[in-house]
Amino acid sequence: MNKINVYFVSDGTGLSTEQLGKSILIQFPDINFKYKTIPFVNTLQKAQTLAKKINKEPSSMVFSTLIHDELNDPFDSGDFFHINFLKQTIKQIEAIKKFKPVPTMGLDYRFGETASYEKRITAMDFTISSDDGNNVERYNKADIIIVGVSRTGKTPVSIYLALMNGLAVANYPLVDSELESRELPKSLQQFKNKLFGLTIAPSRLQEIREKRRSTGKYASPHQVQAEIRYSELLFNKYDIPYIDTTSISVEEISASIRTRLFNNVI
């Protein structure tokens, strides 16, 4: 079957349209979709030009979050499948809950903004300057301290939590001396409630490390297995919650950490 062009169309960044649209289309694994996100469709001319282009392609699909009727019309009257995620739900809310909407454009970029812009930027500064064991003396200001051996994903997870949730996240790499002594450094012990561990399957870690540095003991099977084993021993000894990152995404690891540390649970 030929590829089906799928357009995520938005008057803002298009992120929410894209994300939900992909979550939906993943449920149709037999179909070959080709995705394209079109942000900032905020004038009638842009909407008409795009709809005209899509009209010429066979079987195309459009998922949108356009809020104004005027910009929607070219897509609704096009000869292709179009679903507006905002409109259909807003209509249901109006009908059932009797709330009155006040349409506002460009609001779909706000995901992750559980924290204010200021807080996120301050958290980012903290997190970058506290990457990879730096600035241990500022751990009292951290919301979370992520620990784990080299290449378990500490940095991207820290950055994600800072950027998306405004959390000040430090990360600390466990090295041979700590692993062999079976002791956490004093700098970490005093902040036990903030600690979260990352682990990973040894075979996967070996693969990741080999790409970075294939010689020396860094990526050797023996070294990798010992580091993982000892780090998990440490997590258990100090009652540090931890997660296996082998087959899950940065987003999922981050959500798990928030859930576990901040009781964001049922």
- Scan residues 222-251 and list those touching a copy of itself (CB under 8 A): 249-251
Among residues 12, 148, 166, 197, which is the contact residue for a copy of itself, using CB under 8 A? 12
Helix (H) or strand (E) holding 147: strand 144-148
Binding range to a copy of itself, per CB under 8 A, among 69-77, 90-98, 191-199, 220-228 = 90-98
What spatial distance separates the first Cα and last Cα of the chain, rounded to whole Å? 43
Q: Please check whether residue 63 is in contact with residue 9, taking contact to mean a CB–CB distance below 8 angstroms.
A: yes
The one among 62, 130, 145, 153 contacting a copy of itself by CB under 8 A: 153
Q: Which residues contact 137 (CB under 8 A, 6 or more apart)?
A: none
24 binds a copy of itself (CB under 8 A): yes
The helix (run of H) or strand (run of E) holding residue 118 is helix 117-129
Q: Lay out the site mask for a copy of itself across 94-133 (x = CB under 8 A, - = otherwise).
A: --xx-xxxxxx-xxxxxxxx---x--xx--xx--x--x--
Q: At CA 66, angle to CA 121 and CA 16, rounded to 5?
A: 40
Q: Does 91 bind a copy of itself (CB under 8 A)?
A: no
- Using CB under 8 A as the binding rule, whether residue 152 contacts a copy of itself is answered as no
Decide if residue 32 touches a copy of itself (CB under 8 A). no
Q: Using CA atoms, how far apart are residues 34 and 48, in angstroms rounded to an integer?
A: 21
Q: Among residues 81 and 221, whose Cβ is nearest to a copy of itself? A: 81
